[in-house]
Amino acid sequence: MVPEKWVQSLFLLIVGIFTHASGAFVGINIGTDVSNLPPTSDLVAILKAHQITHVRLYDADSHILKALSASGIEVMVGVLNEEILSIGESASAAATWINKNVAAYLPSTNITAIAVGSEVLTSIPNAAPVLVSAMNYLHKALVAANLNFQVKVSTPQSMDIIPRSFPPSTATFNSSWNSTIYQLLQFLKNTNSYYMLNAYPYYGYTKGDGIFPIDYALFRPLSSVKQIVDPNTLFHYDSMFDAMVDATYYSIEAFNFSGIPIVVTETGWPWFGGADEPDATVANAETFINNLIKRVLNNSGPPSQPRMPINSYIYELFNEDKRPGPASEETWGVLFANGSAVYPLQLSTSDRITENSSVVFCVVKPGADSDKLQDGLNWACGPGQANCTAIQSGQTCYYPDTIENHASYAYNDYYQKMRSVGGTCDFSGTAMTTTNDPSSGSCHFAGSSNSNTSTGGLSPPVAFGPTNPLDGSSSSMHSLRLQHLISAAFFALVLL
């Protein structure tokens, strides 16, 4: 009889094989500092509606991990910064963490990576001496549980540990971290893991004192007189994003390591900011995110590593309105809490977008005054004769239970009924029109292709990853790798 533990190991090995057999992916970060975070069941419905196949959690939220069970979505879980010291000093603490936050959910929830902390070297440098120890202990716990083929361990770092990132060919890590970085790279190489990079062209541009044009940060074409060229390699850089990734590859190379892929664990652009943040606009955020998707899904790497695709996670899914700091900290999300897109999102490999070109919806304007919204909601459901049954408690559009969600539904219902006879979408300046369908899950707004009052067809939503929920690198490299891994899997089966 085949031992059950061996069968599970083989199953996870085969999962690991096919997990890395397809093209590059664009995933997304899910933060929970949201006042009206939708229920986890709605969250998974939103992810599936937008064909998102890879997500990163900043912790190991049990409710979200349970909800993601059997979804097929690949999940990266996180060790919190405040957990690193205890895990880095205790193998038993690491084993407990793995058993509680990873092994307990596999294989049903498809956990494939652990991000140990967030920008540890620059945010909590006192934990740096035990960072790699924590990673080693976690990896050994995975080995003991026969999960090391399925789950990789790494740690996200910011671009700040590279003091001068341009030109990329001369970039090096901050020498004060040499010992830790060498240990980190050695660990990644030994465990066949990857370097996690948080790369934000938004900050590279806004803190760059005008050195680089904004088109360079937004992936827009540069004129012939504004080409960005590394004077040492003569490589042309079409985007700041590529230059950041390449600077990191060169910094790794300076330690005499090669073959360690880079995965961008955070990148994005805020769509609203304060008076001193003029570049945080909807137009810029839309341009950056859609161009990022196109860039990543072309399956190529930066100039120095053209065969190493840049798998990336967008920062972030929802607007985290509870985050402290400047106004822009609250507006990095690509979706509102009801699942509707902040701006149209386009998949580069097709003409599909998350908007309905033949239908205009009326929704709440971001930042609208709550008192005015309440007045507008009362009017729409009263004198305006909007059908507000669906936003009553227990009905399909009650959640998220927010004034913004309820007002959007009521405003839109009124607008769809009355615009043909002069009804407007204003509501004392609290409303705006959009071609983004705000429907989510079983909640269908009037005018949606899924509602009984549809006036047009909704294009399929953007896919933040390939239709097949798998990831990987260039096809030629993976074809060879896949052949060897499949052979190994069948050989293991014979041995069983």
Average confidence (pLDDT) over 178-206: 97
Taking residue 2's Cβ as centre, other Cβ atoms within 10 Å add up to 9
- Range of weakest confidence among 12-16, 186-190, 311-315: 12-16
Q: Which residue has 């993976």 as its token pair?
A: 478
Q: Can 74 be counted among the known catalytic residues?
A: no
Q: Please, what is the Cα angle at 299 between 109 and 293, to 5 degrees?
A: 70
pTM of the predicted protein model: 0.71
Residues 6+ apart with CB under 8 A from 399: 38, 39, 42, 405
Taking residue 210's Cβ as centre, other Cβ atoms within 10 Å add up to 7
If one compares 301 and 10, the residue with the highest pLDDT of the two is 301
Q: Can 266 be counted among the known catalytic residues?
A: yes
Average confidence (pLDDT) over 235-246: 97
Q: Given 74, 83, 119, 329, which residue is catalytic?
A: 119
Helix (H, G, I), strand (E, B) or coil at 169: helix
Taking residue 308's Cβ as centre, other Cβ atoms within 10 Å add up to 22
Q: Given 74, 266, 320, 355, which residue is catalytic?
A: 266
Q: Please count the CA atoms within 13 angstroms of the CA of 18 that sit on its side-chain side.
A: 10
- The per-residue pLDDT of the chain, averaged, comes to 84
pLDDT digits (tens, 9 = 90+) for 309-322: 999 999 999 999 89
Q: Please, what is the Cα angle at 257 between 143 and 113, to 5 degrees?
A: 35
Q: Give the closest residue to 194 by CA, choosing from 103, 95, 313, 80.
A: 313
pLDDT digits (tens, 9 = 90+) for 255-281: 999 999 999 999 999 999 999 999 999
Helix (H, G, I), strand (E, B) or coil at 168: helix
pLDDT computed for residue 345 by the predictor: 75
Q: Which residue has 């790699």 as its token pair?
A: 132
**DSSP string computed for 337-405:** TTS-BSS--B-TTSS-BSS-TT--EEEEPTT--HHHHHHHHHHHHTTT----GGGSTTSTT--S-SHHH
Phi, psi at 483, each rounded to 5°:
-60, -45
pLDDT digits (tens, 9 = 90+) for 63-94: 999 999 999 999 999 999 999 999 999 999 99
Q: Please, what is the Cα angle at 168 between 166 and 172, to 5 degrees?
A: 90
Contact 323, 34 (CB under 8 A): no
Measured distance between the N- and C-terminal CA atoms of the chain, rounded to whole angstroms:
9
Helix (H, G, I), strand (E, B) or coil at 79: strand
